[in-house]
Chain A
Amino acid sequence: MSKPAKSQWNFGELFSPAEMRKVLSVSELTGTVRTLLEKQVGAVWVNGEITNLRTQSSGHIYFTLKDANAQLSCVLFNREKVTQRELLADGQKVLLQGDVTVYEARGQYQLIVRAVELQGIGALQIAFEKLKQQLAAEGLFAPERKRALPKFPARIGLVTSPTGAAIRDVLHVVQRRNPALEIILAPCRVQGDGAAEEIAVAVALLNRYHLTTAQTQRSNDSTKLDLILVTRGGGSLEDLWAFNEEIVARAIFESAIPVVSAVGHEIDFTIADFVADVRAATPSAAAEIITEGVFASREFVGGALDLMRLRVRRRMANEKENFASLAGRWSRLHPRRRLNDSLQRLDDLQSGLLRNLKTAVRARHVVLQNLAGRFLRAKPSVALKTRREYLRQLEKRLNSLGPEQVLARGYSITTDAASGNVLRAAAAVKAGQKLKTRLAKGEIFSRVAE
């Protein structure tokens, strides 16, 4: 209704008779407002933060949804099928779907909540846990199904953004460690709406490409992929969220090619990481793992030639040494050598013999000299004189003991002339017996007269 610019006290047209007659009750007015709101606003989606939440004994939940400048009364009736109802709490950011109406008894407009979506980090984390449990139960994370990576991949698939930091890091590491590695990039967005679908499609595309050789042997170039690397650089939970989506998890699970997942930083673990065959902490770490086989072999290949040369040299030296010692033994066994040995031995023996002989002769010589000396000392004339002397003495003694001296005194010895027996008794003789008497000088033969 237009308000004419007149005196403020002139209510003429404002309250025309017809309208002045229509007086609304509070209920009527409230009802009008309610109808107006339900028709004009009706079902809405609204987001904000929960405050002042209280649960009645009936089970109905009342709270106020607010933002910086306004607030809205809300009620979540018991009968509404809202999961996570128990997670509603003050401070929780939510996205609500519901109907705007008026609670006439209080004259308060409010939102009757039909559906709730938790928002913010809390919501994401809850969704993450939920999906993680679900997929784990289905066996997507089972360690037994994880495939080992080939040690010397020659060609790999890469799922990442063509403009991100991840691809740069991966290419740098590969350049440094194994530039011979061929990379097939299936580009995709790695965050935002629809990114999860793009990632899943990229993985599927690479699988398709991998299988084309089996079917079409047209070109000479192989399309075999040894593994797929799914990767993106660091970011917030929301940034990485695409890698927590079910569609990505299933695409990785269904990949016929082993998948390496490297999403975010060391501390970030996404569902893609759990499903993948291998998880790397960062894109660079993933590239290092992938190229490790070739890179580690570099040193070996570099040194292999020297190693082999050394082996051959050593072996040759060994053989030479063996041969030399053998030759030595051979020459020592030669007959001439033995002859020489014998001759030398003979010489030795001869010298020895001579030496011994000389020694023996000298010894005998000495003995001889000794004997000669003794012999010369033992002169016979001397001995003879001595013997003569001795003899003379013996003779003297004998003489002194002999009858000569007695006879000299006049005595005589008378014996029987026949027998020679010495006579001591006159009675012993007979007449006529022949007797011999020895005197000092001479003998007298006689016959017994009587």
Chain B
Amino acid sequence: MSKPARAGDAARGSVPFEDALKKLEGIVDAMEADDLPLETLLARYEEGARLVKICQEKLAEAEVKIQQLEKNAAGELKLKPFESSEE
């Protein structure tokens, strides 16, 4: 779905929200179990903090990104910015 061909994201070096979230959930779960060695616990915490930052960046997006699909004369599909009738 959103995972396979995210060429753009890979190029920008960022992780899709879903992946970051899954990893974060995994880390929190692992930390809940008490049997991690202390060093691993701390390493996981750091990784988790990093993932939280990534997720929050995505959640902090302010504006919805909406574009309009059009077929030009040549039959090609192009995107153009959507002009809302209000605002």
Contact = CB atoms under 8 A, between A and B. Distances in A.
Contacts of A187: 68
Contacts of A392: none
A179 B61 contact: yes
Contacts of A178: 59
Contacts of B85: 162-163
A443 interface: no
Contact of A222 (B7, B25, B28, B52): B7
Contact of B32 (A151, A185, A311): A311
Contacts of A186: 68-69
Given A224-B4, A308-B27, A183 B67 contact: yes
A409 to B, nearest CB: 128
A222 B5 contact: yes
B8 A175 contact: no
A308 B64 contact: no
B59 A305 contact: no
A151 B17 CA distance: 11
B42 A152 contact: no
B11 interface: yes
Contacts of B45: 308-309, 311-312
A292 B9 CA distance: 22
Interface stretch (A95-103, A213-221, A363-371): A213-221
A209 B69 contact: yes
B66 A183 contact: yes
A185 B82 contact: yes
Interface in A140-155: 150-155
Interface string B31-48: 110100010011011001
A294 B79 CA distance: 25
Interface residues of B, number: 49
Nearest to B22: A152
A41 interface: no
Contact of A301 (B1, B16, B24): B24
A351 to B, nearest CB: 50
Nearest to A161: B85
Given A307-B28, A311-B32, A315-B41, A185 B18 contact: no
Contacts of A151: 18
A226 B2 contact: yes
Given A168-B86, A185-B69, A305-B49, A179 B63 contact: yes
A182 interface: yes
A407 to B, nearest CB: 125
Interface in A49-83: none
Contacts of A353: none
Interface string B48-87: 1100100110110111111111010000010100111110
B85 to A, nearest CB: 5
B48 to A, nearest CB: 5
A189 to B, nearest CB: 14
Given A179-B62, A312-B42, 8 more contacts: A150-B1, A175-B64, A181-B64, A205-B69, A222-B7, A300-B24, A301-B21, A315-B34
20 contacts: A150-B1, A152-B18, A153-B2, A162-B82, A162-B85, A174-B64, A175-B64, A179-B63, A205-B69, A217-B7, A220-B11, A300-B21, A301-B24, A301-B56, A302-B56, A304-B28, A305-B52, A308-B31, A311-B31, A311-B45
Among all A-B residue pairs, the 9 with the closest Cβ atoms: A152-B18, A150-B1, A180-B61, A183-B66, A179-B61, A154-B2, A301-B55, A311-B31, A220-B8
